[in-house]
């Protein structure tokens, strides 16, 4: 989930200082103000929903990755993707900074998913007919579908003005 | 230290390049449009009586521009080759890479002639029936000019020396996809599992090209120079490549309208493709255009990801770059997944227009 709230805030600060404040009544500043307004709403939605969205998404993702991990260990033992999955699945939330930690861990899980997708695509020639292989690939596709649906909660309702 | 680009420094450069007192600079203006390139128009008076064009363009990369894999020198080389064909283009005059004369932060540039005309055409997207014929005429004009580009003998004009051509008709789609994913690898800083997933489907479903042709890249409204209903120069060649002609139809902006009156479709993509075939003898399937719209979505998603880089590392956290990674990126990934999962994604209602909107949103000129 990028940009992060910190990145959006930094962008708003930069945009005000560099692009709006020098000529606040000019057409460029007015245009940027529209984008800032939309992104402030997006930021509020992110602050409201992100933690839960990452929790729910992460839970489904971990289930899919455990399935992929099992398949890769059985069929591609010693491969980099399996190792990356093992590392990502072992990550724990830091109790001192749980929000940041959850986001970082979720990103690591997504990176492991990408590695697993690429590796399983590469193994399609030798394993594509196997029911186990197809089940893992389908689980990955279902996750991606659901994940984009979950992301929609951070988009819907934010962009109510012209974008620029 | 090179000077900032202004009237005095450009006059000094022209004195150096063309000889003292050869020309007098009379006007210099930066054009407001552009995301990856800066375009400056200037006029000169030929004091030495030479037969030079008096309206010229200086073109260079924009400082801090979103990643564009092609250099300005490459773009100059493309223009130089095109100038030797029948394709209407502004004639390139010279490329400058002498560090002593590259302005500001040392960006190289090239000079070309300026063609009279405008990037916009009144009523080109006006849905009122009285503009139907006007819009069809403009659409045919765009199709005809694409046909001219596609009929260029790219081997004879040595485009193969600067553009990697597909190995075969079957390799056209896979080559385009591999190129985009190579660019992603160069810029990626965040996991992209959706793009990883759809790559396989795109490779599996790549249609063979009817012919390998020179492609313009993004084209249509905002990319060409119009005078009345004629295109007097095809401009913006930074995405020029060699491949399936359908790829250009997937990247045409606003000039392939779908017009329906009294239950009759009087102009559509199919009409445009039939007209194109009558001019070139090349048959292009509409489904292949749809396929390349999906390829365009991948291209757009990579572009948005690139735009986010300067937000993430704090080098230029422009809010518009952050915006691209939210709504537009989400929409593109959704369409890609829907298409690869066999769902209806709305045909011509997606693709190039949204990429263009993304580019416009991130442009500093608003």
**Domains of chain B by residue range:** 7-113, 129-361
Could you tell me the pLDDT band of residue A109, with boundaries at 50, 70 and 90?
very high
CATH topology of domain B129-361: Aminoglycoside 3'-phosphotransferase; Chain: A, domain 2 (3.90.1200)
Could you tell me the pLDDT band of residue A66, with boundaries at 50, 70 and 90?
very high
- In order of A31, B82, B135, B341, the CA distances from B308 in angstroms are 20, 34, 36, 27
**Residue from A114, A149, A157, A160 to probe the interface with B (highest B Cβ count within 10 Å):** A114
What are the two backbone dihedrals, phi and then psi, of residue B120, each rounded to the nearest 5 degrees?
-110, 155
pLDDT over threshold 80, residue B290:
yes
Question: In the predicted model, what is the mean pLDDT of residues A74-99?
Answer: 85
Among the partner-chain residues A15, A38, A140, the one whose CB lies closest to the CB of B318 is A15
Question: In the predicted model, what is the mean pLDDT of residues B199-210?
Answer: 96
Question: In the predicted model, what is the mean pLDDT of residues B301-329?
Answer: 88
HEC string of B36-96 equals CEEEEEEEEEECCCCCCCCEEEEEEECCCCCCCCCCHHHHHHHHHHHCCCCCCCCCEEEEE
Angle between helices B132-150 and B269-280 (to 10 degrees): 40
Among the partner-chain residues B323, B330, B357, the one whose CB lies closest to the CB of A38 is B323
B7-113: CATH number: 3.30.200.20
Residues in chain B with CB shorter than 8 Å from the CB of A117 are 193, 196-197
CA separation for the pair A1, A106 (Å, rounded): 9
- What length is written for chain A? 164
B39: β partners: B59
Q: Return mean pLDDT, chain B.
A: 90
Is ipTM strictly over 0.90? yes
On whether any CB of chain A is under 8 Å from the CB of B335, the answer is: no
- A28 to chain B: closest CA residue: B366
Token couple for B256: 């392939």
Token couple for B302: 């990579």
- Percentage of residues in chain A having pLDDT higher than 90: 57
pLDDT at A50: 85
pLDDT at A154: 85
pLDDT at B343: 83
Predicted TM-score (pTM) of this structure: 0.88
On whether any CB of chain A is under 8 Å from the CB of B322, the answer is: yes
Cβ of B337 within 8 Å of Cβ of A159? The answer is no
pLDDT at B244: 98
Question: In the predicted model, what is the mean pLDDT of residues B35-63?
Answer: 89
pLDDT at B315: 87
Cβ of A7 within 8 Å of Cβ of B330? The answer is no
Among the partner-chain residues B199, B311, B330, the one whose CB lies closest to the CB of A7 is B311
Could you tell me the pLDDT band of residue A8, with boundaries at 50, 70 and 90?
very high
- In order of A3, B70, B148, the CA distances from B321 in angstroms are 9, 21, 36
pLDDT over threshold 70, residue B120:
yes
Q: Do A157 and A41 touch, CB atoms closer than 8 A?
A: yes
pLDDT digits (tens, 9 = 90+) for B69-112: 788 999 999 999 999 999 999 999 999 999 999 998 889 999 99
pLDDT over threshold 70, residue B344:
yes
Among the partner-chain residues A11, A121, A151, the one whose CB lies closest to the CB of B322 is A11
pLDDT over threshold 70, residue A15:
yes
Asked, colleague to colleague, whether B7-113 and B129-361 share their fold, the answer is no
What is the sign of the dihedral through the CA atoms of B70, B71, B77 and B81?
Answer: positive
Among the partner-chain residues B197, B200, B322, the one whose CB lies closest to the CB of A3 is B322
pLDDT at B366: 35
Question: In the predicted model, what is the mean pLDDT of residues B324-339?
Answer: 90
On whether any CB of chain B is under 8 Å from the CB of A21, the answer is: no
The alpha-carbon gap from B319 to the nearest alpha carbon of chain A, in Å, equals: 5
Residues in chain A with CB shorter than 8 Å from the CB of B297 are none
Could you tell me the pLDDT band of residue B346, with boundaries at 50, 70 and 90?
low
Residues in chain B with CB shorter than 8 Å from the CB of A7 are 311-312, 317, 322
Question: In the predicted model, what is the mean pLDDT of residues B284-310?
Answer: 91
Residues in chain B with CB shorter than 8 Å from the CB of A140 are 193, 197
Question: In the predicted model, what is the mean pLDDT of residues A67-79?
Answer: 92
Token couple for B175: 């080559």
């Amino acid at each position: 989930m990028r940009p992060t709230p910190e990145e959006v805030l930094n962008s708003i600060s930069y945009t005000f200082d560099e692009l709006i404040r020098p000529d606040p009544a000019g057409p460029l500043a007015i245009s940027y103000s529209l984008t800032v307004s939309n992104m402030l709403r997006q930021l509020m939605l992110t602050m409201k929903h992100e933690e839960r969205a990452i929790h729910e998404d992460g839970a489904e993702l971990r289930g899919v990755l455990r399935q992929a991990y099992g398949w890769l260990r059985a069929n591609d033992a010693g491969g980099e993707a399996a190792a990356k999955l093992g590392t990502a699945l072992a990550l724990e939330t830091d109790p001192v900074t749980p929000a940041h930690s959850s986001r970082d861990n979720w990103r690591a899980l997504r990176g492991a998913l990408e590695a697993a997708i690429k590796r399983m695509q590469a193994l399609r020639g030798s394993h594509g007919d196997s029911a186990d292989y197809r089940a893992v690939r389908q689980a990955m596709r279902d996750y991606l579908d659901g994940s984009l649906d979950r992301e929609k909660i951070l988009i819907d309702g934010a962009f109510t003005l012209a974008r620029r | 230290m090179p000077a900032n680009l202004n009237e005095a420094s450009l006059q000094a450069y022209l004195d150096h390049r063309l000889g003292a007192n050869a020309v007098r600079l009379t006007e210099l203006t930066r054009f407001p449009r552009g995301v990856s390139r800066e375009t400056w128009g200037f006029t000169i008076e030929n004091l030495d009586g030479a037969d030079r064009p008096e309206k010229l363009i200086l073109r260079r990369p924009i400082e801090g521009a979103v990643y564009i894999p092609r250099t300005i020198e490459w773009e100059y080389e493309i223009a130089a080759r095109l100038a030797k064909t029948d394709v209407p283009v502004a004639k390139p005059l010279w490329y400058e890479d002498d560090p002593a004369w590259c302005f500001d932060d040392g960006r190289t540039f090239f000079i070309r002639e300026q063609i009279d005309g405008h990037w916009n055409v009144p009523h080109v997207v006006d849905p009122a029936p009285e503009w139907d014929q006007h819009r069809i005429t403009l659409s045919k004009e765009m199709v005809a000019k694409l046909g001219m580009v596609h009929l260029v003998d790219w081997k004879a004009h040595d485009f193969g020396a600067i553009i990697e051509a597909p190995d075969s008709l079957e390799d056209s789609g896979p080559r385009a996809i591999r190129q985009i994913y190579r660019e992603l690898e160069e810029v990626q800083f965040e996991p992209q599992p959706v793009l990883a997933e759809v790559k396989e489907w795109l490779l599996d479903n790549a249609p063979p090209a009817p012919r390998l042709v020179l492609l313009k890249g993004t084209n249509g409204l905002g990319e060409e120079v119009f005078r009345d209903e004629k295109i007097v120069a095809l401009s913006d060649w930074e995405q020029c490549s060699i491949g399936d002609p359908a790829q250009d139809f997937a990247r045409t902006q606003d000039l392939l309208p779908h017009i329906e009156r009294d239950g009759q479709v009087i102009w559509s993509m199919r009409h445009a493709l039939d007209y194109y075939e009558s001019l070139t003898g090349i048959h292009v399937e509409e489904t292949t255009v749809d396929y390349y719209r999906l390829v365009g979505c991948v291209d757009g998603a990579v572009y948005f990801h690139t735009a986010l880089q300067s937000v993430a590392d704090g080098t230029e956290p422009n809010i518009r770059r952050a915006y691209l990674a939210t709504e537009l990126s989400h929409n593109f990934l959704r369409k890609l997944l829907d298409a690869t999962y066999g769902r209806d994604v709305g045909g011509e209602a997606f693709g190039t227009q949204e990429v263009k909107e993304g580019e416009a949103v991130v442009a500093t000129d608003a």
